[in-house]
Amino acid sequence: MADYTKEIEKRRTFAIISHPDAGKTTLTEKLLLYGGAINLAGSVKAKKTAKHAVSDWMEIEKQRGISVTSSVMQFNYGDYCINILDTPGHQDFSEDTYRTLMAADSAVMVIDASKGVEAQTKKLFKVCVMRNIPIFTFINKMDREARDTFELLDEIETVLGIQTCPINWPIGSGKNFKGVYDRETKHISRFFAANNGQKTVDTIEVELGDEELDTLIGKENHAILADEIELLDGASSEFDLGLVREGKLSPVFFGSALTNFGVETFLKHFLNMTTTPLSRRSNEGLIDPVKNEFSAFVFKIQANMNKAHRDRVAFMRICSGKFEAGMEVNHIQGGKKMRLSQPQQLMAQERKIIEEAYAGDIIGVFDPGIFSIGDTICMPDQKFAYEGIPTFSPEHFAKVRQVDTMKRKQFLKGITQIAQEGAIQIFQEFNTGMEEIIVGVVGVLQFDVLKFRLESEYGVEIRLENLAFEHIRWIENKGIDVSKLSVTSDTKKVRDMKGNPLLLFVHSWSIQTVLDRNKELKLSEFGRE
């Protein structure tokens, strides 16, 4: 086997997750700056203009180039080759956001120091936990008034249920933010508001208790810091790399992405602690990234990047070995040997055709409509398939009707194709056929996307009627007689595209009631694609 071990071991593939406005874009931008991948901070911000009005799908379409380009960013830093996966936030929060996490080996969770754990952080965190990937916490905006540090850590532990281990500790916040104390080296990095955007920060080697610190950060701050560190040493979890790797302990860093304070320290520690590309489960056991030849799985499909051709790009995460352009591969689910065409990789702002890529990397390939989310691609003499990607629970539901009943065929074709791409999920009444279609989405923007795409690509106008359901559960019992289940008045029995039975609920408490009434019933929050 050719020796590409080194290339693979250089790779660090991670996603940055946060609630909107916590600072994910700013942090990403600063990380790219260190890698020299962008010359000026602000390039990633281009995407921010995509804080579009929901009705503005035309604009979204135009900006697709940008949002696709920024969906994976690769750059080198020291001996590392870093792949950052972007998880869209804001209104474009969707199934893709979740699936992207399936392609990451670790996650960086950005938290706003004045707000703590927020709704979207919780949702994304759940997916990380499901995969047991390491989760690193960056508590951002320390240059603004922050909540009490212990309180913040306590919230992460109780709300998210993960232990925390601060790697550094903030000295004050807001106007009184003096810097951070590194618990390992016991050095202080001093924050100067003036060093906005500069790459380097002053690290001052002063021990706690040293008089010099009194002048440096003020007597009072010094005393508080000494107390807090004493308390922390007694109370916090010990650093344990094993637990970090299992996703059970989150190393915590404090900083200010905007002023670029604490970002490089974070990056260095993070790269040391996070993993090289992880092995992945397949139906033939774990596939080791180094010992195996090329294999990948599809985690995202982006359709109609070029409207005239109705083309699609399938994004795949390489899980093992080396990819070479033009090589023959086996598409397991399609049962066909093929060559991947126009393999592309994204380097910050540019898209380029690539010749080779390695385990840990993400490539986009031209998809003539043959790939589905979760598909495996491997060498021609191999036959294993990676474990499927879960179907994430939609949280918004609407009934869809076409305006012109003559266009039934186009309507069904369009909506089925869009569902196959994974942008929406479609359900039908349990006992009837496709007469009534219910669409479920993770982010409400997808409703507008659906409406726009059906009109512009399939010539079908639709009406959407919002439904009150907010919870969905797949029925796990095989062969159960769904019509006999005793359910509450706010429960609806439906089927997904593959015919799997599900229940939709308006109220979360109905889920328990239904379980109580049907003792044998087993429900699951996720389906499998």
Binding residues for ligand G4P, per CB under 6 A? 18, 20-26, 48, 89, 140-141, 143-144, 256-258
375 is known to lie in a ligand binding site: no
CB of 154 to ligand G4P, least distance (A): 22
Nearer to ligand G4P, 139 or 378 (CB): 139
CB of 197 to ligand G4P, least distance (A): 11
CB of 31 to ligand G4P, least distance (A): 12
CB of 442 to ligand G4P, least distance (A): 18
Sign for the pseudo-dihedral over CA of 259, 10, 348, 315: negative
Nearer to ligand G4P, 139 or 504 (CB): 139
- Measured CA to CA, the distance from residue 282 to residue 319 in angstroms comes to 11
- Measured CA to CA, the distance from residue 255 to residue 141 in angstroms comes to 7
**Which residues 6+ apart lie within 8 Å of 507 measured at CB?**
470, 471, 490
67 is known to lie in a ligand binding site: no
DSSP letters for 431-444:
SS-TTSEEEEESST
- Which tokens go with 186? 């016991």
Nearer to ligand G4P, 225 or 258 (CB): 258
Nearer to ligand G4P, 424 or 445 (CB): 445
- Measured CA to CA, the distance from residue 278 to residue 290 in angstroms comes to 10
CB of 224 to ligand G4P, least distance (A): 22
CB of 90 to ligand G4P, least distance (A): 7
* H/E stretch holding 344: strand 341-347
158 is known to lie in a ligand binding site: no
Phi, psi of 213 (to 5 degrees): -65, -30
189 is known to lie in a ligand binding site: no
Cα dist from 15 to 109, 405, 442, 520, whole Å: 9, 44, 19, 39
Phi, psi of 14 (to 5 degrees): -140, 165
Nearer to ligand G4P, 140 or 344 (CB): 140
Strand partners, 346: 351
CB of 38 to ligand G4P, least distance (A): 14
221 is known to lie in a ligand binding site: no
21 is known to lie in a ligand binding site: yes
Nearest to 86 by CA among 96, 76, 75, 95: 96
Nearer to ligand G4P, 174 or 368 (CB): 174
- Measured CA to CA, the distance from residue 393 to residue 376 in angstroms comes to 23
* H/E stretch holding 121: helix 119-131
215 is known to lie in a ligand binding site: no
255 is known to lie in a ligand binding site: no
- Measured CA to CA, the distance from residue 43 to residue 390 in angstroms comes to 33
Evaluate whether 112 touches 23 at the Cβ level (below 8 Å).
Answer: yes
Nearer to ligand G4P, 25 or 69 (CB): 25
Nearer to ligand G4P, 26 or 320 (CB): 26
CB of 416 to ligand G4P, least distance (A): 34
Assign 215 to helix, strand or coil.
Answer: helix
- Measured CA to CA, the distance from residue 158 to residue 274 in angstroms comes to 24
Phi, psi of 119 (to 5 degrees): -50, -50
CB of 60 to ligand G4P, least distance (A): 17
307 is known to lie in a ligand binding site: no
Nearer to ligand G4P, 91 or 345 (CB): 91
90 is known to lie in a ligand binding site: yes
149 is known to lie in a ligand binding site: no
235 is known to lie in a ligand binding site: no
The angle formed by the CA atoms of residues 393, 394 and 398, to the nearest 5 degrees, is 150
Letter string b/e over residues 252-267, b meaning 16 or more CB atoms within 10 A of that residue's CB:
bbbbbbbbbbbbbbbb
Nearer to ligand G4P, 144 or 396 (CB): 144
CB of 202 to ligand G4P, least distance (A): 18
- Binding site residues, as ranges? 18-25, 86-90, 140-143
- Binding site residues for GTP, as ranges? 18-25, 86-90, 140-143
